[in-house]
Chain A
Amino acid sequence: MAHTETRQGSAEPNAAGSQRRSFWGALLGNSSYDAVTRVLFKTQRRQFIILASFPLFWVLFAHLGPILQMFWISFLDSYPPTAGVEPQLTFANWMTFFEARIFMMPFFRTLGFALTLTLTTLLITYPVAYFLAKHVRRGNQLMFLLLLLIPFWVGEIVRTYAIMILLGNTGAVNLILQWLGLTDRPIPFMYTSFSLSLGIIYLTSLYMLLPLYSSLEKIPRNYLEAAADLGAGPWRRFFRVTLPLSREGIASGCTLVFLISTGYYATPVLLGGPSTTVFAETIAGFFHVAGDEWPVGAAFSSIMLITTLTLTGIFLKLMGRTGKGLME
């Protein structure tokens, strides 16, 4: 069995080009190539080290590096450094946050917003995911899912603009409301927490829906049938079987939506107003002006990163999961 599979697997590239085979054959027969690989791959251990070196370098240099550098900058009194002046270590940047209400307010507003939106998104998308996973025939599920995925591929800015057109004073919603005679002057939906919430739910709902769908889809039908045979009504079946078994999806979906919605910058700028300033705008403010403010911005970013990751860590722990497999 294994043998036939192997043949099929290697037959394809062979057929693809007989010229390439001679290249690889020549490479293997080349004496200098042979000498080099003999040294490099002499032992399993050496081979492992060579394979491991670049990935380890990359994750430390490019994934962890920027975060550590940001933490480091947040303790300096000036950055980018001016020539001849040695930057001093200081806690002042971190203390700035606790001293002013104009910084604290957006921070807590962002967290509150993100939590509310996560919960709302969960409530909206759960029935949709349930319908997809349990009521649509398996052959049609892909089509129904694709219908939801297409708008999802469109970028943040374009979709934010679409919401602006929908909700503007001369937008579609106001046109319909006036036509129905429900209001005689346009309702100012834009630049409020309403428009911002609607926009962010519009952007993030699929991050909730997909994990929910994949966890609901995995629940075997006979579990529910067994519960029904034992006399459980529809609501009881839902709360005792379906909901606990979709916990995995709820946990990943909520984590993703929470982390993503705290990170939006353009959407709050375009859809929000002065009363809805979020922390991303506060942080960005420190980078628009001359370089001196970078350390404060770095400190604020660190505060936000630590807070959001701690909150999601606690949440995942409560849901009985570790962070592993979050993205799956």
Chain B
Amino acid sequence: MTRSTRILMSVIYWAFVVYLFVPLILMVMMGFKDSAFIGFPIKAWTFEWYLGVFQDTKVINVFLYSMAIALSTTFLSLVIGTWIASFLGPYKFPGKLIVFALTCLPAVIPGIISAISLRIYARFLDIDPGMMAIILGHTVHNVPFVTLVVMARLATLPKSHIEAARDLGADSIVAFFRVTLPYLRPALIGAGIFCMLLSFDDFVRAFFLGSYQPTLPVLIFAKLRSGMSPEINAISTVVLVMTAILGIWAERSMRRMNKGTE
């Protein structure tokens, strides 16, 4: 490519970065505004909104509730996803492609339809709206991602590792726990953090499957509908910082895993 198109493209890249970051930076700034009215310009600054959030027991409860859902979801998704991957990965059988497609299905269904169908299904299974229903919904949504990540990692596990374990007297269960699982560790960490992010950030499933106790995104949504306030900015900023840290951590462990296999 010529020099001018090259410069043009770097301008487009940086413009895109600005487009991604500016709204978030503005949102964080607004949380420091010393006025209940959302809008520019910001004339006076304060920490009060943030202090308020950390002292608000309702917000803290909602945060803990969301965390509990995210952790349970992550655990279940990892177990189920790994099981599906260790079945789909190494074995060849008729209809494998169909099972694979079914595994990926929840990941490609538009969010609202996924939420509605799970709401109906929870009613059918007699699960009341609330924590259990949300955990089920999030797990269904997350399993495809875990399966894909674990399958990719499994494909790089040398057959000789398992064979050696078998030669040394391990049966397939022991071989799985002593050889396969340690080998999968980086994939499980990466996929696990990704699951936590997906669950913690999810709105539409939590909204339709939840009871009166909201998750954090549902709480922010409810507050937004009754009017903007810097308090929402403060809550959102806390969420933003948490997710960014988790995301960078996930990215690092996945990157390390890819490097290890090259």
Contacts and interface: CB of A to CB of B under 8 A. Distances in A.
Given A5-B160, A9-B183, A161-B232, A151 B239 contact: no
A231 B168 CA distance: 62
Given A165-B26, A263-B110, A324-B97, A148 B16 contact: yes
Interface stretch (A62-70, A84-92, A93-101): A62-70
A156 B203 contact: yes
A265 B112 contact: yes
A73 B113 CA distance: 14
Interface in B39-89: 39-41, 80, 83-84, 86-88
A205 B21 CA distance: 13
Contacts of A127: 8-9, 12-13
Given A265-B111, A305-B113, A158 B182 contact: no
Contact of B110 (A3, A37, A259, A294): A259
A170 B120 contact: no
Given A63-B102, A128-B13, A298 B38 contact: no
Interface SS majority for chain B: helix
B121 A63 contact: no
Contacts, number: 304
B124 interface: yes
Central interface residue in B136, B145, B160, by most chain A CB within 10 Å: B160
A137 interface: no
Nearest to B177: A24
B114 interface: yes
A55 B96 CA distance: 12
Contact of B9 (A135, A259, A312): A135
B120 A24 contact: no
Q: Name, among B6, B20, B21, B200, the residue most crowded by chain A CB atoms within 10 Å (CB to CB).
A: B20
Contacts of A2: 158, 160
A165 B229 CA distance: 11
B154 to A, nearest CB: 13
A105 interface: no
A158 B236 contact: yes
Contact of B220 (A157, A163, A262): A157
Contact of A148 (B10, B17, B119): B17
A53 to B, nearest CB: 9
Q: Which 10 A-B pairs have the closest CB atoms?
A: A170-B39, A263-B110, A155-B201, A263-B111, A153-B247, A162-B23, A66-B121, A66-B117, A280-B112, A131-B9
Given A161-B228, A305-B109, A308-B110, 10 more contacts: A66-B140, A69-B117, A131-B9, A131-B13, A150-B247, A152-B247, A154-B243, A155-B217, A157-B201, A162-B23
Interface of B: 1-2, 5-6, 8-10, 12-13, 16-17, 19-24, 26-27, 30, 37-41, 80, 83-84, 86-88, 91, 93, 97, 99-121, 123-124, 136, 139-140, 143-145, 148, 152, 158, 160-161, 164-165, 169-174, 177-179, 182-183, 197, 200-204, 207-208, 217, 220-221, 224-225, 228, 232-233, 236, 239-240, 243-244, 246-248, 251, 255
